Amino acid sequence: MSEPLSTCALCPRLCRFACPVANGTSREAAVPGTIAGVLLAWSRGTVDDAIAREAALLCSDCGRCQHVCHLHQPLPDLIAEARATLAPVQVAAIGAIEGDGALVAIETDDRAWSAALSSRLGEPVARLRTPDALGGEARRAKGWEARLDSLREQLKGRTAVVAHGAAARVLDEAGVTWRWLHDALGVPAAPSCVGGALTCCGGADALQAGHSADATRLASRFGGDGVLADARCGAHLKAKGRVVVDVIDQLLERT
Amino acid sequence: MTSPDTVASSSSPLDRRAASRDLLPSGTLHMWQDEPLPEPDRVFWPEDDAEVEQVLRAASEAGIPVIAFGAGSGVCGAAAGRAGSWVVDLKRLDRIGSVDPTTWTVEVGAGVNGQVLEDALAAAGWTLGHSPSSIGCSTVGGWIAARSAGQFSGKYGVVEDMVVGVDAVSVGQGAFHVGVAGSQSPSRRGPDAWMDLLLGSEGTMAVITRARLRVRPIAKARWLRGYRMPSVEVAFDAMRELMQAELWPAAVRLYDPVDTLIGGRTKPKADHGSEEDHESFLRSWIKSVDGIDGIHKRSLVLPLSLPGLLNKVANRFATGCLLIVGWEGEPGVVEAASTVGHKLICAHGEDLGHEPGQRWYDSRHAVSYKLMPVFQRGGFADTMEVAARWSVLPRTYHAVRKAVSPHAFVMAHFSHVYPEGGSIYFSFAARGDQGTYERVWAAALEAVLASGATITHHHGVGSLKAKHAAREVGPAIVGWKEARAQHDPRGVMNPGRLFVEGEPMPPPSLALDPSDGLIFTAPGPQAPSVQARALWPWTHLPSPPRWQRHAWQTGWVDVTGQIGGVACALGRGPRSATGPDLRPTLVEKGADLACTVGLAVDGPRWMGEARVASPWAVAQAILRADLRPSMMGVVDGALRIGFRGPAAPAFGALASAVVTGGLTERAWTVVPIPAETLIPCEVGDARVTWVTSERAFRPREVADV
């Protein structure tokens, strides 16, 4: 990993403005280039696992640093690769798509919304239940490519509809066709929630686990007008006591 | 004892490590070579002025050094880690206020990221116009503390031209504001003189927490073009003529022959269009040589080990320079200025069309990506930006190249020009350890000072230039020391940076060359004979505070004298970022004083007059239409607007179109500019004696005291 990682470690941190976690927490440690520096040192054996793990978990895997980088450095992948070693997680196997339809609702929590979407659009919508959001936390872990192959096979010729930033990123990586739920419904997304080609508000699951104060501060910064497009962000905000309506809530209430 | 424990903070190894380094390349070299960096003991994230004050007081009482930290993008070490210190990370001071459409200003927290600010302003149709290549990785507070300059400084000014007010916190003075107060400002107002001392103080006196900044509507038109110039010297002539003709381009950038060769930028027009034109010489060299077995990652080791030879080879093959010139703003003004400017430059060089200009614009923030391959392949890279008047620039350019060439590969570009001179931005690359790094810098800075230039134009001082900065300002350092004693009585604010006193150095001779575009005068009331020749006819010097001047109006340039029998020369160019502006100190405490101001060169003049109901409101409308009058005032109830230079008639016609009934052409007269500090007021107030794009001003009255 060292050549691309060293490029990011040596870079003047030019992508920092785009990182939702670095901006949300104000921590220098969360700046993508700083994380790269820590992981480079860890790969050389001069930083211990505990520090490297904390750094790797600061990344919310939104992909915006790569998106704004003039060199398109694959830093999110490099961090995910390090995280797979430093903080391995077990994810469930991809389940089977249930039902028929050219559209497949990717349901990431206990809200079942494929039927409501079908009713709203007037066409059959299948569903894929995945409580771990397609297992994005295990990106770059052993078996990751097989997981992507499984997704490609199941979604061949169909379009996934998604309301979760981490799941969207997995679909992006698999190269399957997908669209946001709010786009399918034709409703505007909150400005803080969606922006750029890769979308994620920085719901930062890792922060919720390890840095409660940072997570609270992040939660205080997101929201605003429009519907929350990302259920991960919605869950994050709700966990921090904010009253929010995300796009799935809206769909279920209006149908 | 004051406790800082209610302020968010961390002493975790990760946060301390993250605050151990700014972008000083020697720190990058240490990091790359796995050498330990000095880590602070604790990092604080204050959310308001009170929390900043809480941390500063606790640090002062405990004698703990404090480093104010924005985004750590400084390349001179002002925010570098320091063992045993506390870091005050200001990124939670991140509020961006709404643009005030009446005063064309916005209130911004010191921790706001530059690109985040620009995006927020753009969403509402405004721009700050400050565009350093570090815009995505720097903060507003850092810009002000280190006196940043952006790539469009010709139009929008350098950062201190944009600042109309600053809020700050110090141990000695608590929370205070200087300049124009904002909605979030502390009620306590500091003396106007503190503004010059805060800007450029690099965290050695107070922590800047907020600023009021000038903004402008987003430019409706942009014009960019490239020219191939036969030599640096010829290009200097073209740039000088352009600036002294008062055409005010937003960007003027000259790349010397080696930089042009390395960047792969300048090709004759006929060569354009092939893919290799768009890949720099350096990148294509690395790509081709890295492909050879056994060479990968070491491709620069050999050439950088022989810098003298490498410089000779590069000089042998480098011919011609690329000049980029650009205007932006209101379409009529852009067209008038660029039409005349284009003809002027074509008298010196070959037109390469719009493409090189557009290419530069599209990649204008990418320069910082070029340094990583040098470190990765066995070397180190650094940059040094200096400034000098026109007649000194060639001497400085050649002297630095000669001094550095035995130690490092060197090239340069020239990215900020003024009627009175310009800056030089040197890039070095070398192979070696910390000793080599220090030898390169010592040789370069000695050559700069000996040539008569200022050691920094827009990167600030930090630890890297602190000894040479003290030598440059000489006895005027007393102004900084006295201010520091008021604000930081125990000396805990960023100690050992900005100024480190050592061996004194006699100042350079100030003899003027006609090309400098300067004239000698002295502080105090300005005689009509001086006003008649001056670029800006101030009623007296020093000129008024910055928030009362147009961004493009310079006051004095050089100020010379002696303090306690020790000679002192400040300025040394059209702009210096060698710490705070200590020229007022020299005038206050010095003897045998002299100064220089810009000279209005001979050439066309156009002046118009109109009798209108609210002349100052009309004057402000002309300024907001993007015009820059050389003369502006109300004489006997009539508005007078004057322009100089080859585009004067065209600018006059544009100004006339703003005025109901137009301007009637009349004989040229000098209209002095009030230099005393005025009081902001409504533009319709009958007492108005001056306006800027942002506000109107009237004289201070007894009732105001």
pLDDT tens-digit readout, A198-221 = 344 445 555 555 566 776 776 666
Give me the number of domains chain A comprises.
2
Mark whether A177 and A151 lie in a shared domain.
Answer: yes
Angle ∠(B90,B92,B97) on CA atoms, nearest 5 = 105
Written as one letter, the residue type at B77 is: G
**Judgement on whether residues B673 and B559 belong to the same structural domain of the protein:** no
Residue of A nearest to B113 (CA): A17
Residues A79 and A96 placed together within one structural domain of the fold? no
pLDDT attached to residue B492: 98
Domain boundary among A86, A102, A127: A86
Residues of chain A neighbouring B71 (CB-CB closer than 8 A) = 13, 16
Interface confidence, given as ipTM, is: 0.91
Query: Pick from B453, B469, B489: which residue ends a domain?
Result: B453
Mark whether A140 and A42 lie in a shared domain.
no
Residues of chain B predicted below pLDDT 50: 266-278
Residue B26 CA neighbour count, 13 Å, CB half: 19
Q: Are residues B315 and B358 in the same domain?
A: yes
Give the CA angle between residues B699, B702, B705 to the nearest 5°: 95
Closest in A3, A6, A16 to B137, CB measured:
A16
The phi, psi pair for B529, rounded to 5°, reads -65, -35
Residues 6+ apart with CB under 8 A from B284: B264, B276
- Kindly give the residue spans of alpha helices, DSSP state H, lying in B590-682: 615-624, 648-658
Q: Give tens-digit pLDDT for A47-72.
A: 999 999 999 988 888 888 998 898 88
Question: Biggest alpha carbon distance in chain A?
Answer: 59
Same domain for B261 and B288, yes or no, is: yes
User: CB–CB of B426/B388 below 8 Å?
Assistant: no
Q: Are residues A180 and A248 in the same domain?
A: yes
A39 and A163 in a single domain? The answer is no
Residue among B610, B644, B246 nearest B619 (CA): B610
Same domain, A188 and A127: yes
pLDDT at residue A194, as a whole number: 43
Please provide residue A241's backbone torsions phi and psi, each rounded to the nearest 5 degrees. 85, 10
The pLDDT of residue A91 is 84
d(CA B570, CA B582): 8
Residues of A within 8 A of B72 (CB-CB) are: 13, 28
Q: In whole angstroms, how far apart are CA A1 and each of A78, A182, B393, B587?
A: 7, 37, 45, 59
A11 and A99, same domain (yes or no): no
Using the 8-state DSSP alphabet, how is residue B215 labeled? Answer: -
- Domain boundaries, position A113: 92-255
Whether B79 is covered by a domain: the verdict is no
The answer to whether residue B38 sits within a structural domain is: no
Nearest CB neighbour to B368, from listed A12, A31, A34: A12
pLDDT band at A227 (very low <50, low <70, confident <90, very high): confident
Cα B69 to Cα B78: distance, rounded to the nearest angstrom: 9
Instruction: Name which of B395, B428, B382, B412 is nearest B322 in CA terms.
Output: B412
**One domain, residues B253 and B296:** yes
Which of A65, A86, A107 is a domain's end point?
A: A86
Q: CA B143, B148, B150: angle at the middle one, nearest 5?
A: 115
Last residue of a domain, one of B424, B453, B482: B453
Q: Do B368 and A71 touch (CB under 8 A)?
A: no
* pLDDT score, position A191: 55
Contact A163, A190 (CB under 8 A): no
Search chain A and give the residue with CA nearest B92: A26
- The answer to whether position B589 is within a domain reads yes
Tell me, yes or no, whether B175 lies in a domain: no
Give the count of beta carbons closer than 10 Å to the beta carbon of residue B354: 14
* Closest partner CB to B92 (pick from A26, A37, A54): A26
Q: For residues B389 and B241, state if they share a domain.
A: yes
Provide the number of structural domains found in chain B: 3
Taking CA atoms, B446 is separated from B230, B441, B545, in Å, by 29, 8, 33
A252 and A137 part of one domain:
yes
CB-based contact B48:B104 (threshold 8 Å): no
For residues B414 and B530, membership in a common domain is answered with no
- Same-domain status, A81 and A25: yes
Could you tell me the sign of the dihedral formed by the alpha carbons of A130, A134, A137, A142, in that order?
A: positive
Q: Give the residues across from B450 on adjacent strands.
A: none
Q: What is the CATH number of the domain that holds B272?
A: 3.40.462.40
Single out the residue in A86, A103, A129 at which a domain terminates: A86
Domain with B613, as residue range(s), is: 605-704
Summarised one tens digit per residue, pLDDT across range A152-184 is: 999 999 999 999 888 988 999 999 999 999 999
Kindly state whether residues B592 and B643 are assigned to the same domain: no
For residues B555 and B545, the answer to whether their CB atoms sit within 8 Å is no
| Measured CA distances, B532 to B512, B539, B670 (Å) | 19, 11, 6
In chain A, residues with a C-beta closer than 8 Å to the C-beta of B371 are 10, 12
Same structural domain for residues A81 and A43? yes
- Are residue B231 and residue B342 in the same domain, yes or no? yes
> What whole-number distance in Å separates Cα of residue B510 and Cα of residue B485?
32
Whose CA is closest to B664, among B624, B595, B609? B609
A201/A221 same-domain check: yes
User: Looking at the structure, do residues B272 and B346 belong to the same domain, yes or no?
Assistant: yes
**What pLDDT is recorded for position B297?**
63
Mark whether B240 and B292 lie in a shared domain: yes
Q: For tokens 């604790």, name the residue.
A: B42
Do B379 and B238 share a structural domain? Answer: yes
Whether residue B34 and residue A38 make contact (CB cut-off 8 A), yes or no, is: no
If asked whether residues A184 and A160 sit together in one domain, one would say yes
* Distance between CA atoms of residues B506 and A237, nearest Å: 63
Question: What pLDDT does residue B274 have?
Answer: 41
The nearest alpha carbon in chain A to B27 belongs to A10
* B227 secondary structure, DSSP code: E
Residues B592, B571, single domain; the answer is yes
Question: pLDDT value at position B586?
Answer: 96
Residue A68: its chain B contacts at CB < 8 A? 136
Q: What is the pLDDT of residues A96-133, one digit of tens each?
A: 999 999 999 999 999 999 999 999 999 999 999 999 88
